Homo-oligomer: A and B are copies of this chain.
Amino acid sequence: MSEKKKLKGQTKVRMEERARVMKALAHPSRLFIVDELSHGERCVCELTDMIGADVSTVSKHLALLRQAGLVLDEKRGQQVFYRLRVPCILNFFGCVEAVLEEVSRCDVAESS
């Protein structure tokens, strides 16, 4: 009967699952990848060139996105192409920008 929602049991599991997805998006390179994949599929080599990090690093970022369920991979020849799996994550960007604007608009002593 208690209306008090607590961070335990079912609720805790759900929050942990959500956090895993959010974590996958909580990195500059991975956000860039998602943004780039919104324009179509890309191979690892293309993304590596754009990001400017080691291929192995980019590959691990992509593996993490895949494990989170955000992208799909398809091997064709020697190359592996990645594409978005759930397009709605692109809607995140608009809201994140809104947050950044809100902060920069009232950037007085908000950082302390």
Give the copy number: 2
Please determine whether B22 and A96 come into contact, CB atoms closer than 8 angstroms: yes
Q: Is A21 an interface residue (CB 8 A)?
A: yes
Q: Is A17 an interface residue (CB 8 A)?
A: yes
* Interface residues on chain A, size class: 35 or more
Task: Kindly identify which residue among B15, B31, B85 contacts A31, using a CB–CB cutoff of 8 Å.
Answer: B15
CB-CB contacts below 8 Å: A1-48 with B: 4-8, 11-12, 15-19, 21-23, 25-29, 31-32, 35-36
Q: How far is the CA of A7 from the CA of B100 in the complex (A)?
A: 19
Please determine whether A99 and B111 come into contact, CB atoms closer than 8 angstroms: no
Residues of A within 8 A of B (CB): 4-8, 11-12, 15-19, 21-23, 25-29, 31-32, 35-36, 49-52, 66-70, 85-86, 88-89, 91-100, 102-103, 110-111
**Contact of A29 with B15 at beta-carbon distance under 8 Å, contacts A88-B98, A91-B95, A92-B95 already known:** yes
